[in-house]
A and B are shown apart, each in its own frame.
Chain A
Amino acid sequence: DAGVIQSPRHEVTEMGQEVTLRCKPISGHDYLFWYRQTMMRGLELLIYFNNNVPIDDSGMPEDRFSAKMPNASFSTLKIQPSEPRDSAVYFCASSPDSSSYNEQFFGPGTRLTVL
């Protein structure tokens, strides 16, 4: 298996633009997670899905952020409009069913820079 795939790996955009980050989880995994990592705040969970349904989005910073999972093999995290403070590395992770004791498999991340 190729592992969790994220695209793009790097994104540079200007303030006010829409940004869409993409994630393909490991096939067969029921859970998908979006994290954000910054120097100031560390690694934060933004939202997670179970069987394509959002379970907990309490970590989503504000209405500018939205996440979707239209099917089991694809998820997006959208920021509209983007702001410089959104600059961070965004990780997607997936996990098998609950019997796996929360071993999450992380993708390589998308480094977002908002100018």
Chain B
Amino acid sequence: DAKTTQPTSMDCAEGRAANLPCNHSTISGNEYVYWYRQIHSQGPQYIIHGLKNNETNEMASLIITEDRKSSTLILPHATLRDTAVYYCIVRAHLDSWGKLQFGAGTQVVVTP
């Protein structure tokens, strides 16, 4: 599976949009981009995934560049409860199905 690069940490003001970047320059054509987050002392939580089209759900939006070498997770209106470590993961859907390889992620701190 391709590796991802994320900033170690970032701050965001409450009520503002949080834009979390992720680089995955070696992504293969059959690999999806997944985002999970982990709030302190809890298990990771799925946020969203995409292949090449932009995706939106009730939690966030995922913007994938046309060359698919990078993506951005957008939390449209950050709240204090969004403070967490955010993981960007790329993997093929059908190969080694179970393996989500979590990196170090981005520690996002939402401040009042």
Which A positions have Cβ atoms within 8 angstroms of B?
4, 31, 33, 42-45, 48, 50, 55-56, 91, 93, 95, 98, 101-109
- CA A56 to CA B95, docked complex, whole Å: 12
Which one, A33, A42, A101, A106, contacts B104 given CB within 8 A?
A42
Sample of 14 further A-B pairs with CB below 8 A, known A102-B32, A104-B44: A31-B97, A42-B103, A43-B38, A45-B98, A48-B99, A55-B98, A93-B43, A98-B97, A101-B32, A102-B100, A104-B46, A106-B43, A108-B43, A109-B43
* Neighbouring A residues of B103 by C-beta, 8 Å: 42
In the complex, residue of chain B having the shortest beta-carbon distance to the beta carbon of A106: B43
Q: Is the interface on chain B under 10, 10 to 19, 20 to 34, or 35 or more residues? A: 20 to 34
Main SS at interface, chain A: strand
CB closest chain-A residue, reference B101 = A45
CB nearest neighbor in A for B44: A106
